[in-house]
Amino acid sequence: MSTIDDISLEKQLVYSNQSIPTLTELLEYMKSSNKSLMFDIREPPEDHPYRDSIINQTIEAIQQSQVRPEYVRTVNKSIQCSHVKVQCIVI
């Protein structure tokens, strides 16, 4: 795995000016550009306030975005695929 010390100063500057989009922003981009999304939900630590709701919040954001379900896939085993309009790929 690389660290910041392994990257040139020029690239460090470029990367430092970039931001990570929210899930909602990413879903909006997907809709406007006809792109697909494959993601993995990792549960937060036990003391995190969203520990028990992260999966439901993610599913709710996807459903509210009105992105077509076939454009969203997850590799997460803990999502109940039969109850959600998200394609699950179990690895």
Q: How many whole angstroms separate alpha carbon 71 and alpha carbon 55?
A: 18
Q: Tell me the mean pLDDT in the region 33-37.
A: 86
Q: Point out the least confidently predicted range of 4-8, 50-54, 58-62.
A: 4-8
pLDDT of residue 36 exceeding 80, the answer is yes
pLDDT for 90: 44
The answer, as to whether pTM is greater than 0.75, is no
Encode 45-61 in three state secondary structure: CCCCCCCCCHHHHHHHH
Q: How many whole angstroms separate alpha carbon 67 and alpha carbon 18?
A: 25
